[in-house]
């Protein structure tokens, strides 16, 4: 339930990472390590074009995980010439395999009733398409989501939660 995620919230908490899968189907899974909840919400984090190293998003990923969430960071690009459709298929399949692995023997069980999709640049576009197709591809149906494109500065974004209350989200 929500108790585990609340207890995991710590700006000084430790983050654990593990690579699941290989090639374009590989996914980095980031979980709260200390404090470690029993279960946590899942954030599918889709990177920008050719930005397959999660180090480029380290601060953002750490913030999300230290807030009590699991982050799945699929690699999805096989090479420079990977077509967009294959990248999307790889992102979906890699994330689904990572979810299955975490469900069966992960240090923190994914709570897919609380599932978000975010992306940067190319990943922002993918996040919109994947969110629209969530039910068809086997992800939980989506509530309204947001996406972000970096322009070398912080870009606060406004979105509405399902309660229709406006929220301010520091994007980057």
Residue 14 has pLDDT above 60, yes or no: yes
Per-residue pLDDT, 10: 56
Q: What sign for the dihedral angle of Cα 44, 48, 50, 54?
A: negative
Which residue's structure tokens are 């980095």? 28
- Taking residues 57-83, report their average pLDDT: 92
Please tell me the pTM assigned to this model: 0.78
How many angstroms separate the CA atoms of 54 and 81, rounded?
A: 20
Q: Of 87, 97, 78, whose CA–CA distance to 20 is shortest?
A: 97
Q: Of 140, 118, 136, whose CA–CA distance to 127 is shortest?
A: 118
Per-residue pLDDT, 11: 63
Beta strands in the chain (DSSP E): 14-20, 27-34, 39-46, 70-74, 109-119, 157-160, 166-169
Per-residue pLDDT, 143: 57
Per-residue pLDDT, 67: 92
Per-residue pLDDT, 110: 96
**pLDDT band (50, 70, 90) for residue 3:** very low
Which conformational region is residue 55 in: left (phi greater than 0), alpha (psi within -120 to 50 degrees), or beta? alpha
Q: Of 16, 10, 24, whose CA–CA distance to 75 is shortest?
A: 24
Residue 7 has pLDDT above 50, yes or no: no
CA dihedral of residues 122, 124, 128, 129 (deg, nearest 10): 20
Tens of pLDDT, residues 112-153: 999 999 999 999 889 888 988 888 998 887 655 454 444 444
């Amino acid at each position: 339930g929500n108790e585990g995620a609340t207890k995991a919230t710590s700006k000084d908490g430790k983050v654990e990472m593990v690579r699941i899968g290989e090639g374009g189907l590989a996914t980095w899974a980031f979980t709260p390590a200390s404090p470690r909840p029993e279960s946590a919400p899942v954030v599918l984090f889709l990177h920008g074009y050719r930005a397959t190293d999660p180090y480029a998003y380290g601060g953002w990923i750490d913030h999300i995980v230290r807030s009590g969430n699991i982050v799945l960071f699929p690699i999805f690009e096989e090479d420079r010439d990977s077509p967009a459709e294959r990248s999307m298929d790889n992102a979906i399949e890699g994330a689904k395999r990572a979810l299955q692995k975490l469900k069966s023997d992960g240090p923190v069980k994914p709570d897919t009733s609380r599932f978000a999709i975010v992306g940067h640049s190319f990943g922002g576009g993918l996040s919109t398409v994947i969110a629209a197709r969530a039910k068809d591809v086997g992800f939980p149906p989506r509530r309204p989501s947001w996406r972000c494109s970096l322009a070398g500065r912080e870009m606060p974004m406004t979105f509405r939660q399902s309660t229709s209350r406006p929220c301010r989200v520091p994007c980057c």
